[in-house]
Each structure stands twice: as C-alpha cells, then as structure tokens.
Amino acid sequence: MIEKDIASPSRTKEILQRHGFSFKKSLGQNFLTEPNILRHIAATAELNKESQIIEVGPGIGALTEHLARSGGEVLAFEIDGRLLPILEETLAPYDNVTVVNEDVLKVNLREIASQVFDLEKPIQVVANLPYYITTPIMMHFLESDLPVEKMVVMMQKEVAERIQAKPKSKAYGSLSIAVQYYMEASIAFIVPKTAFVPQPNVDSAILKLERRQQPLVEVKDEDFFFKVVKAAFQLRRKTLWNNLLHTFGKDEATKAWLEQSLSLAEIDPKRRGETLSIEEFASLANHMLECKQN
C-alpha cells in the first residue's frame, strides 16, 4: 500500500525533521507541499506507462512519485548528496525510478540516459527547476542530442512569461526566440508561492514546451542566427542599428555590410530588437551571411 503523498505538508515536515535536513539557498531548494499541484503537473505532461521522463532536482521525491505512478521509467538528477538517503526511503515503493547524484549540466546526458531509456523513443523533461539555473538547464536539454519531445517545467512566473512572449511586448527577448525556435511554448498554470517550503519571494508557472517537427524558421547557420538575435537585445533601449554596430564593429566596411543586409531583409535599422519577429531575424541573419560571402 502506498503511503500518503510525500508532498503533504505534515509528511514533508516529518521527513525533513527525521533526517535533520536543512535547505541550501545556494541550490535554490524550494519543495512543493501541495499534492494537487503535483497531480496537475503530471496531468499536463500527459504521461502513460510508455513515457520516458527526466526530472531535475527531485528534492525529497514529491513530484517524482507522481511521475513514477503515471509514467514509465523516471531518471532523476539530484546534485545534493544529502538527499540521496531520503530519496531511497521515500521512493522505495517505486521500481521505475533511477536517481543519479550528478550535476545535470556537467554529465554526458546521452550516456546516462541510454542506461535507462530507449533512445529511439521520445523523452520528456518534467521538473521543478531551481530558479537560479532555469535557463541553462532548459537550453542544455533543447540543444542536446537526446530526443526531448516535450518539457513540462516549473520556473519563476516572470521567466515563463519571457519564454512565451511575442514581439512588441516588454517580456520578448533573446530567450523567447531561443526557446520558440525549437519548441511551441505555453503557460499551463500558475503556482502560488504559498505552495512551497521554504516560501520563495515570487509565484511560479508551469511552462509546457512541445518540440516542433522542424525549427520555426530556416537559417543557414544556427550559431550565427543566435548571435544576431543576442546582438539585437544587447542594449535594450538602443536601435537595432546601434546594437549591431556594438557587436559586429563600427568600421566603414562593416557599416556597408550591415546596411546592405538590412536593406535586403527589408528591415528599418531604426527599429528596436523587440519589434522584430523570429522570421525577420532569420531573414536578417541569412542575408548577413550572403552579403559577407559576396
């Protein structure tokens, strides 16, 4: 028989006290104590017994147990070795969970995943991501060679809003483009700060990301495309022209190259980066490469 949810406030408190666990602020540890929210996260991920799931930062296993109940194999990366004996105890009822005591940003993801999953089949990432390292972890998975088809991840509400933002909005920036290039992004629901121990300063959001069959736009060189995007948002109040000069150089040859590229892409250099669509950025980057070669 399965015990009551790990995430109930009373059981969370009892587990932490029994193991003498103290939170490390440097690791961004905030544990959810609201089982209904965890059920909602698992439902948003649309799991079944074929699902292959990666979790980052399982904590004491509150979300992990819901993933194990609803999904197939679960691979959880936990950087804090102090949590391993707790996870061994709380996840004892589940034989479909593998906990790895590693920093997910430093491991060979493919090598570890291949020991647990069938890499011919899709993988999804479902996690309550530490606030301080949300973006690097997400990009690590998006750019990895794992077949990550879907991500259902909790993060600061403000970061989730930036990721799903559209052009001409305050939240829109290089992060919006970097993620939307690969994935369709939507906020599934908001999680109040009161649902955590210890309580963070801000509300969170569950962001659902689904892999596009192919990137949103066709670019000649992905690295260069992202360099142009990053350049456009370097100094937010500056025009696109000033930002491009800031990144690529101010000599006459560079100015001529940028003028020609912007003209061919039909983009007014006086516009600001946040007004350009992803399609316009792709056109600009492609024309810049063409003009450079001619």
Could you tell me the residue ranges of all domains in the chain?
9-211, 222-293
In this prediction, residues 219-232 reach a mean pLDDT of 97
- 50 known member of a binding site: no
Read off the tokens for 226: 């992202």
| Residue (of 127, 134, 100, 104) closest to 38 by Cα position | 127
Stretch 93-117: mean pLDDT: 97
Query: Quick one: pLDDT band at residue 208, thresholds 50, 70, 90?
Result: very high
Phi, psi of 278 (to 5 degrees): -60, -35
Given a cut of 80, whether residue 179 has pLDDT beyond it is yes
216 labeled binding residue: no
Q: Does 30 show up as a binding residue in the annotation?
A: yes
Residues 27-72 pLDDT 10s: 778 899 999 999 999 999 999 999 999 999 999 999 999 999 999 9
In this predicted structure, what is the pLDDT of residue 292? Answer: 87
Residue 3: per-residue pLDDT: 57
Tell me: pLDDT of 163 over 90. Answer: yes
Contact assessment for residue 38 and residue 127, using Cβ atoms and an 8 Å cutoff: no
pLDDT at 24: 82
Give the Cα separation of 4 and 40 in Å (integer).
Answer: 17
Question: Phi/psi at 228 (nearest 5 deg)?
Answer: -65, -45
Taking residues 137-148, report their average pLDDT.
Answer: 94
Mean pLDDT of 225-239: 94
Average pLDDT, the chain: 94
Which CATH architecture describes the domain 222-293?
Answer: Orthogonal Bundle (1.10)
Check if the beta carbon of residue 155 is closer than 8 Å to that of residue 48.
Answer: no
Q: Which of 4-8, 140-144, 206-210 has the lowest mean pLDDT?
A: 4-8
pLDDT of 80 reads 94
Q: State residue 127's pLDDT score.
A: 97
Is pLDDT at 119 greater than 80 in this prediction? yes
Q: Are 261 and 287 in contact (CB under 8 A)?
A: yes
- Give the rounded percent of residues in the chain with a pLDDT score beyond 90: 88
Band of residue 94 on the pLDDT scale cut at 50, 70, 90: very high
Give CATH for domain 9-211. Answer: 3.40.50.150
Residue 252, pLDDT score = 96
Two tokens, residue 253: 């040859």
Highest-pLDDT range among 132-136, 199-203, 281-285 = 281-285
pLDDT at 2 over 60: no
